């Protein structure tokens, strides 16, 4: 791992993370990483990165807290509902139409940087609504990956606070509550049959081998942390993962530019949905 940051002490902190946790943040955007680390500096009641580096050496348990800060994800069910509207009304008819023509029942979807599971569960519920009884006719697998083991553990449990759903439209709430049990105390649990469709696992989109034969990749709001070279590297991995004419869904402030721009076609610009050439 080679680092490139202007701040040499931040470099050392990133190197320490790599040595202890085998997570390589060296190509992430320095400003964003600096803010994440500074959050821990202030919470530890310290003044600067240098003091914090010494603090990390003396307090090994602080590394867990730093990892939480570095891998923090903002997510929610049906986040940016217009994106899920586009997936439901444009992507699914196209995708399942193709499968019918090819006489194939295999559907493979990848939710990259899935955090605590809201996105893959949202996709699963949307597919269940779209197919209805025909869901049983398909061999569906959603691969939900992240580098945060704690978030993955929470995702597998599938337990959420009811307050997390309050921003949703009434239409989406009706869909969501069909697939949850009420546990009382404003807590809800995903119905036990649904996790069988989702494979939650640790996977680093930067360094691990890309998944294969994927019909749709969702990677939303991860690229905002990456520099241009790293974006191109991960996009190339997604390109390798996707089947011909496979779909790629990015975050609402992200787009494909640079070396990979000719590898994808814009399918729905507002929703940042692309198709592999």
Query: What's the CA gap between 118 and 224, in Å, rounded?
Result: 20
Q: Which residues lie closer than 8 Å to 124 by C-beta, 6 or more apart?
A: 140, 142, 194, 197, 198
Query: What CATH number matches the domain at 8-70, 3.30.310, 1.10.155, 3.30.590, 3.30.1360?
Result: 1.10.155
267 phi/psi in degrees, rounded to 5: -105, -40
Measure the CA angle with vertex 24, ends 29 and 227; round to 5°.
25
Q: What is the mean pLDDT of the chain?
A: 91
pLDDT at residue 117, as a whole number: 95
- At 227 the pLDDT is 80
CATH topology identical between 8-70 and 81-276: no
| Model confidence band, residue 162 (pLDDT cutoffs 50, 70, 90) | confident
pLDDT in tens, 48-71: 999 999 999 999 999 989 987 886
* pLDDT per residue as tens digits for the range 231-241: 999 999 999 99
Q: Is the pLDDT of residue 184 over 90?
A: no
What does the block give as tokens for 116? 């605590």
CATH of 81-276, one of 3.40.50.620, 3.30.43.10, 3.40.50.300, 3.40.50.150: 3.40.50.150
Taking residues 190-194, report their average pLDDT: 86
Question: What's this model's pTM, rounded to 2 decimal places?
Answer: 0.83
Band of residue 150 on the pLDDT scale cut at 50, 70, 90: confident
Q: Domains of the chain: which residue ranges?
A: 8-70, 81-276
């Amino acid at each position: 791992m080679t680092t490139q940051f202007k701040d040499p002490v931040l470099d050392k902190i990133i190197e320490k993370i790599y040595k202890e946790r085998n997570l390589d943040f060296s190509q992430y955007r320095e400003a964003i990483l600096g803010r994440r680390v500074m959050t821990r500096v202030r919470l530890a009641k310290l003044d600067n990165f240098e003091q914090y580096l010494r603090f990390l050496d003396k307090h090994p348990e602080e590394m867990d807290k730093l990892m939480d800060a570095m891998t923090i994800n903002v997510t929610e069910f049906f986040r940016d509902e217009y994106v899920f509207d586009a997936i439901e009304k444009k992507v699914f008819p196209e995708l399942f139409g193709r499968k019918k023509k090819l006489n194939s029942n295999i559907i493979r979807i990848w939710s990259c940087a899935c955090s605590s599971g809201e996105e893959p569960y949202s996709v699963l519920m949307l597919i269940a609504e779209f197919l209805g009884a025909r869901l049983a006719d398909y061999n569906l697998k959603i691969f939900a990956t992240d580098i945060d083991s704690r978030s993955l553990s929470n995702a597998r449990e599938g337990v959420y606070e009811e307050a997390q759903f309050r921003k949703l439209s009434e239409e989406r709430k009706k869909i969501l509550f069909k697939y949850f049990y009420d546990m009382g105390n404003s807590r809800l649990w995903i119905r036990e049959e649904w996790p069988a469709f989702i494979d939650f696992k640790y996977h680093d989109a930067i360094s691990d081998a890309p998944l294969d034969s994927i019909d749709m990749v969702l990677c939303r709001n991860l690229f905002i942390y990456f520099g241009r070279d790293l974006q191109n590297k991960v996009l190339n991995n997604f390109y390798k993962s996707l089947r011909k004419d496979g779909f790629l869904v990015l975050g609402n402030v992200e787009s494909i530019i640079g070396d990979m721009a000719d590898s994808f076609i814009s399918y729905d610009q507002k929703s940042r949905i692309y198709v592999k050439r």
